[in-house]
Amino acid sequence: MNSVRTIGSLVLGLWMSAGVIAPAQAQSPDIGSATDLVRLFFASHTQRFQAGSSPLLNDTDATRPFLVDCLAVDGLQGRLGFDPVYGAQDADVTELEVFPDPDAPILRGAAQIHVSFRNFGAPRLFIYTLIPVSDGAWQINDIYSDDDGWTLSGLMRDAGIASAACDPKSEITLFGMSNDQEQEAADAVTPGMEEGDLPGHMDGAEEAQEVAENDIGMEQGDLPGDGVVAGKRDLLFILDASGSMWGQIDGVAKISTAKQALRGLVGDLDDNTSVGLMAYGHRREGDCSDIEVLLSVADHAPGQVGPAIDSVTPRGKTPIAGALEAAAGSFGNPDRPADVLLISDGLETCGGDPCAAAEALAAQGIGTRVHVVGFDLKEEEKRALQCIADRGNGTYYTADNSEEFGDALKQIANTVNKEPAAPEPQPAPEKSAIFEETFDGPGIDPSWEIVNENTRLEALDGQGALFVAAAGKETFYEGETARNRFVLDSPLPEGDFDLVLKVRFPVQTGSEHAWLSVFESPTEQIGALAWATWKGCGPAINFSLVKVSGPAGEKPEKTAFEHNLFNKGNMLSNLCTDERGYGDAILQVLEEEGATIRLKRRGRALTAVFEMTLPAYEDKEARLYSFETEAITALRLSGRPSFFMGQWSGARNGESHFFVDHFAIESGDNE
């Protein structure tokens, strides 16, 4: 057992202490009471989950004693589509631990409480931020998933869930409830469960989320990009869904074994691998053209790949050559290493030449390999599929039973994970500037149009920079009335080009954003977005390529490739667990020296690039950092160069200050 102290006794201790807290203590909440509040919140949520009753987060009255008003929204869990307390659709929780952050239990006035456990054996870590409210007690201000990189407040914002402004003076806390309310909350916890023994398999779990559409908000003819991110690999699964996959091994259908093992492989891959899924024979009988890309190769959200795998139902023929030929269009950048994994229990049945198709596929780019898992094959069939791997520069794996099949996929995971990362990005060659603005004064180029100008919030600072302040509700880059949007009255260049913006800003509210775009209107733009969020342990830098599209006066549809640069091997490995000091040092450089944002056009593809110099820190040397997003491919590109400095709608009170040091349009023809 993890602890001899049961959750029931923890709750009793919490409520007993609540009854004897003196007013002086209540005004200075200790870290122990913050920890107890999170324990009680988790236990109350678990009791409802085990009982099959309405989730705690769907009940505003029940959550207001725990959460600030911003997060207490009726039906919240149902509207999010999954359980943010467990970070999953279902739960089998063991090894639960609730404890203060060992390095910074109080950070910037907020308590930092870690909740770690295993869900179905997989380790999970959540960081709860709690703030002191009017009566001196704590309330949960946000929940951050260290594994998946989301915050509860961010999920709510992305889902369009409006919430009231947080006023700590008006919050209802456990210590402000009536006796009846206290007893009701205490009764909601199942006594006798030991910490670490919560809960078992739960019935009635919500169905898996539907696979998201990849081209929401795009015009006809615009396609998701090639998923190119520096230092990463692509892996495309090709799953045989011909009718023979209903055959059984050890009493289990081969398709069931393949699905289970394939889902396990996805979980074993590291964060440097983007995955996609193709299937053949899964929709129609006797149709050799039945080949479909179910998921494009990309960094898919947690829970997105599994449902796509599960959706495959064997029905048809085995067009292996056609699938390999179709796979050639799944990898947009020949300079990025790529793997194809073909899973098949039979030979080509549509007259194609799979070996020639594999050779052509492997020749299309640097590091492209075609691997094959031959499942339950005869010896002559194995030799035929071995040819595909040999000519595809890959590896052939034999799997005569479910155990060998699982071992084969584990070997493939090791092969892909051990692949060396792409080389460090080299400094870009010097480019010729088509247009340049240095903001040296006494004025700026007359070609600039300043939309909704407010001169009190922008001025040249006299040192070669444009100062822009953002404050208030209408400071979002897609806002119709957003103030001080800079639009260059000049057409876009013909051919390849870069829009370049050098900007400095301190993270003051946790909602700052700098936007560089091709601008038609506030609701018709494609742009690069550098933006701050306040994670569970402090500010973090994020970077996105975003397309918004829609009529004026309405909320536009949006396509976005979003990346947290403070997590999972980007600028640093994990801000919240071991690199907070380094993260703060990077933020200091962003404020004092700044970063460069690029919006690149190459042919029909647009990508966004974030560049800055990372500081020397402890054993780390100073280095140039460059990150490039996936691409959005646009057949048509029109608009004007533009930039904008603002705040997310959830900004804390106060202004945000930005210093724009340089803007340029550079030719990309010499690359």
Q: How confident is the model at residue 298 (pLDDT cuts 50, 70, 90)?
A: confident
How buried is residue 214: exposed, middle or buried, by Cβ count under 10 Å (0-12/13-18/19+)?
middle
Kindly state the helix (H) or strand (E) to which residue 526 belongs, with its residue range.
Answer: strand 524-535
pLDDT, residue 270, reads: 72
Instruction: Tell me the β-bridge partners of 504.
Output: 659
pLDDT, residue 652, reads: 56
Span 408-459, pLDDT tens digits: 888 887 777 665 444 455 555 556 788 999 998 889 999 999 999 988 889 9
The one-letter code for the residue type at 395 is T
Question: Which residue is it, tokens 């009170």?
Answer: 653
pLDDT, residue 18, reads: 36
**Is there a cis peptide before residue 442, judged by omega within 30 degrees of 0?**
yes
pLDDT, residue 240, reads: 93
Both tokens assigned to 292: 């479909």
Instruction: Say yes or no to pLDDT of 292 above 60.
Output: yes
Average pLDDT over residues 388-399: 89
How far is 170 from 479, CA to CA, in rounded Å? 30
CA-based nearest residue to 344, from 246, 238, 240, 237: 240
How buried is residue 351: exposed, middle or buried, by Cβ count under 10 Å (0-12/13-18/19+)?
exposed
Kindly state the helix (H) or strand (E) to which residue 512 belongs, with its residue range.
Answer: strand 512-521
Q: Which of 63-72, 327-336, 571-580 has the lowest mean pLDDT?
A: 327-336
Report the share of the chain in percent with pLDDT over 70. Answer: 77
pLDDT, residue 339, reads: 87
Span 328-379, pLDDT tens digits: 777 655 566 788 999 999 899 999 899 999 988 888 765 788 999 988 888 8
Those residues whose C-beta lies under 8 Å from the C-beta of residue 439, and which sit 6 or more positions away, are: 460, 464, 465, 466, 660, 661, 662, 663
How far is 213 from 304, CA to CA, in rounded Å? 11
Instruction: Say yes or no to pLDDT of 95 above 70.
Output: yes
More confident residue, 238 or 181: 238
pLDDT, residue 452, reads: 93
Instruction: Say yes or no to pLDDT of 601 above 50.
Output: yes
> How many of the other CB atoms lie within 10 Å of CB of 562?
17
CA-based nearest residue to 347, from 327, 310, 372: 372
Those residues whose C-beta lies under 8 Å from the C-beta of residue 578, and which sit 6 or more positions away, are: none
pLDDT, residue 650, reads: 58
pLDDT, residue 195, reads: 36
Eight-class DSSP state of 311: T
The one-letter code for the residue type at 658 is F
Instruction: Say yes or no to pLDDT of 227 above 90.
Output: no
Instruction: Say yes or no to pLDDT of 516 above 90.
Output: yes
Q: Which of 15-19, 140-144, 159-163, 176-180 has the lowest mean pLDDT?
A: 15-19
How far is 369 from 183, CA to CA, in rounded Å? 63
Average pLDDT over residues 267-273: 75
Q: How confident is the model at residue 25 (pLDDT cuts 50, 70, 90)?
A: very low
Span 517-535, pLDDT tens digits: 999 999 999 999 999 987 6
How far is 148 from 216, CA to CA, in rounded Å? 22
How far is 668 from 671, CA to CA, in rounded Å? 6
Instruction: Say yes or no to pLDDT of 221 above 50.
Output: no
| Residue pair 319/352 in contact by the 8 Å Cβ criterion | yes
> How many of the other CB atoms lie within 10 Å of CB of 461?
13
Instruction: Say yes or no to pLDDT of 633 above 60.
Output: yes
pLDDT, residue 445, reads: 93
| Residue pair 191/599 in contact by the 8 Å Cβ criterion | no
Both tokens assigned to 314: 């064997």
CA geometry: angle at 339 spanning 335 and 343, to 5°?
Answer: 160
How many Cα atoms within 13 Å fall on the side-chain side of residue 615? 16
Both tokens assigned to 363: 């020749």
Q: Alpha-carbon Rg of the chain, whole angstroms?
A: 27
74: alpha, beta or left, given left = phi > 0 and alpha = psi -120 to 50?
beta
Average pLDDT over residues 220-237: 50
Instruction: Tell me the β-bridge partners of 91.
Output: none
pLDDT, residue 294, reads: 81
pLDDT, residue 323, reads: 92
How far is 530 from 315, CA to CA, in rounded Å? 46
Average pLDDT over residues 542-563: 88
Span 96-153, pLDDT tens digits: 999 998 877 887 677 889 999 998 888 999 999 888 876 678 889 889 888 777 788 7
Query: What is the chain's mean pLDDT, rounded?
Result: 78
Span 233-258, pLDDT tens digits: 788 899 999 989 998 888 888 898 88
pLDDT, residue 402, reads: 80
pLDDT, residue 535, reads: 65
pTM: predicted TM-score of the whole model, two decimal places: 0.49
More confident residue, 4 or 541: 541
Instruction: Tell me the β-bridge partners of 372.
Output: 342, 396
Those residues whose C-beta lies under 8 Å from the C-beta of residue 467, and which sit 6 or more positions away, are: 458, 459, 460, 461, 657, 658, 659
pLDDT, residue 276, reads: 84
pLDDT, residue 428, reads: 53
